[in-house]
Structures are given as structure tokens and as C-alpha cells.
Structure 1
Amino acid sequence: MEARAVLRYARITPRKARRVIDLIRGKKAGEAMIALKFMPYRGARFVEKLLRSAMANAEQKDVAEPEEMRIVRAYVDEGPMMKRLFPRAMGRANIIKKKTSHITIVLAEEEEEADE
């Protein structure tokens, strides 16, 4: 059984969020939580809050012990961009693109290996 959490329209660029997600993908939720707590990246705060939500969802669904569940899928999609004008010399303007992200984390129970 799975538990998932999605954070949409997070005000962080997808590239910076992926840097954090790549470090926790495949780990147990408890281990990932400890790793996120000590990461120096700003994106770690977003992912930590999202992982906490996914663990709470697992607990609510009564799936398994949330700390022992594994992060089976974790990915970052690009959200819509907010476009802002930045005035330049001689009446011109540049566009500043403020990027957003959609971050998804899926937790699943660890499958027991059958010994034959």
C-alpha cells in the first residue's frame, strides 16, 4: 500500500528542488528525514515538510510504520512561471521568470524477501 503527498506551486526552481530530491530517493523515510534536517539547501525545507505530510498520510491510512516506509517515487515537475518586468536603460525592460515547482513523494511498504 502507498501513501503520497504533493506540494504544488512551491516557490523554488525545479532544478534546485531536484538537487535535494535526488539525495533522498530510495531511502527509508526516517533516514531521509534526518538527512534533510542537516542539508544546507533551501529546498530541503520544502521537501522535509512534504515528507512529513506523506508520513502523516501513511499513519492516517494505517498502512505501516511511517519511519520504516521507503521513498519509492520522488520527482519534481515544473509549475507555471510568474513573469515580472525589470526596468533597464533607455526605456527597455527585461523579463524575470520566477519559477515554481510541483513536488511529489510516494512512500511504500518495504517488501519482505522470500528465502527459499
Structure 2
Amino acid sequence: MAITVRNSRVGIAPRKVRQVCDLIRKKKASEALKILRFQEKKEIALVLTKLINSGLAIAADSEKYDLDNLVVSIIKADEGPTLKRIQPRAQGRAFRIRKRTSHITVELKEA
């Protein structure tokens, strides 16, 4: 049985989130939190830390899981809706800016 936690429409591009997700996949939850604490991409690390802590809180409430043995089994960043903005350019032209969002899913399982 696994605990699944999801955060939708995070205002960070999925390609950037996947770089950090790859670092903590298949790691114990406590070790993953240590890795995220010293990560250079602070905003992404903060979002992932909150998700993992939320999963640990769910596990603590249900009392079915041993918190020391929980592993980040699945962590993925899917593409969310893209916000389209216009930036004015020279000679009356317009430049399209695509602000990408992501849906982040974390699944914790017992090892």
C-alpha cells in the first residue's frame, strides 16, 4: 500500500522539476529531505519538501506505516496548463511568452 501526494499547477516548468526529482527517486524519505535541504534550486526543493512532509504526516496519522522505512518510490512531474503572455517587440510585433506549469506527484512506499 502506498501514500500518494499530488500538487497541481505549480508555477515551475516540468523540465526543471524533473532535474531535482531524479536526485531523490528511490531514496528513503529522510535521506531525500536531507538532499533537498542543500539543493541549489531552492524553490523546487521547497515544493518537494512540503509534498514529502505531507506524505509523512499522512503516514503518521494512519499508524499503518513505519516512518523510518518509507521510500520515495515514484516521483514525477507532468506538464500542466501553459499560461500564454504577450511581450511587445520592435515595429509593432508581439513575442509570445509561455509560462509553463507542472503537476507533481510523489508516492511513498514501505521498503
TM bin (shorter chain): over 0.9
Q: Report SS of the residue matched to 2:87.
A: strand
Residues 1-116 of structure 1 aligned to structure 2 (within 5 Å) = 1-41=1-41, 42-110=43-111
Q: Deviations over 1:49-79 (max 9, x none)?
A: 1111111122222221324201111111000
SS at match of 1:31: helix
- Matched to 1:49, the amino acid is K
Structure (1 or 2) with the larger CA radius of gyration: 1
| Aligned-partner Cα distance in 1 for 2:65–2:49 | 20
RMSD: 1.0
Alpha-carbon distance in structure 2 between the residues aligned to 1:93 and 1:3: 46
Letter of the aligned partner of 1:73 in structure 2?
I
Query: Please, which runs of 5 or more residues in structure 1 have no aligned partner?
Result: 111-116
Partner letter of residue 77 of structure 2?
V
Shift of 1:24: 0.2
Task: Tell me the number of residue pairs that the alignment of Structure 1 and Structure 2 aligns.
Answer: 110
CA distance in 1 between counterparts of 2:50 and 2:77 reads 15
**1:14-42 CA-partner distances (Å, limit 9, x unpaired):** 01100010000000001101111111113
SS at match of 2:81: coil
For the residues of structure 2 that align with 1:9 and 1:63, how far apart are their CA atoms?
Answer: 30
Structure 2 unaligned spans of 5+ = none
